[in-house]
Amino acid sequence: MELYTYHRSVAAQRVRIALNLKGVAYESRFVDLSTQREEQNHPRFRELNPQGLAPVLVDEGVVITQSLAIIEYLDERIRVRPLLPEAPLARARVRSLAQLFAADMQPLTNLRVFDYLQETMGCDEAALDAWYEHWTMEGLEAAETLLSRSGEADGFCFGDQPTLADVCMVPQVHDATLRGYDLSGFPVLRGVYGNCMTLASFQAAAPETQPDAVAQRRPVAV
């Protein structure tokens, strides 16, 4: 499998975690989403993903975009360490927490949103920082409430094994931690996040451990 990834992409981090939990070896193709946008706008990358977003998984020559679709594909194909429970109600609850992070939080702090805010709406750096922190903290507050009400966290968001919910939660909490946000009001989230980060699968997916974070000259993806 080939994964088009960028170290600071929380959506790509979700997929890296899932691949690691499943024990799948994959080749990374690095897409630099930082300032210049040359790689994500490159016609060959746009051919893979017309949205120009990471991650993209290529398996058996078939292109899959959207991190949740990729992770559910991996989960269906590789049955070790299932990321969704068997029972339909339990599956729905795991998916709903996962989507809080992936569908509601992350899109509001995406690069293209920031470009628009800055270039079209005239927002300055202070306004962009306030926007990022506002939507991050709002999402984490809701997640903390859901988790503490459910009382199902036992090392992981739902029970004692990692699920899709943890796969989506960890990148957001990691990002908030790196940004120095005050997470003291989120004891359940911090506990689960801390437990996940003791696992090699989560550590090896973290942005700072990726080759494109440390390489002076990143390999060109396309």
- Interface with ligand GSH by CB under 6 A: which residues? 9-11, 33, 53-55, 66-68, 102, 110-112
Number of residues in the chain: 222
Least distance CB 71 / ligand GSH (angstroms): 9
Q: What letters, b where the CB count within 10 A reaches 16 and e where it falls short, cover 17-54?
A: bbbbbbeeebebbbbbbeeeeebbebeebeebbeebbb
**Cβ–Cβ < 8 Å for 57, 16:** no
Least distance CB 22 / ligand GSH (angstroms): 17
Nearer to ligand GSH, 51 or 148 (CB): 51
Least distance CB 28 / ligand GSH (angstroms): 15
**How many angstroms separate the Cα of 179 from the Cα of each of 25, 104, 134, 174?**
30, 19, 13, 9
Calpha distance 17→35 (Å, rounded):
25
Closest alpha carbon to 181 in 147, 138, 120: 138
Nearer to ligand GSH, 165 or 188 (CB): 165
Nearer to ligand GSH, 78 or 113 (CB): 113
Least distance CB 103 / ligand GSH (angstroms): 7
Nearer to ligand GSH, 54 or 147 (CB): 54
Least distance CB 37 / ligand GSH (angstroms): 7
Nearer to ligand GSH, 102 or 167 (CB): 102
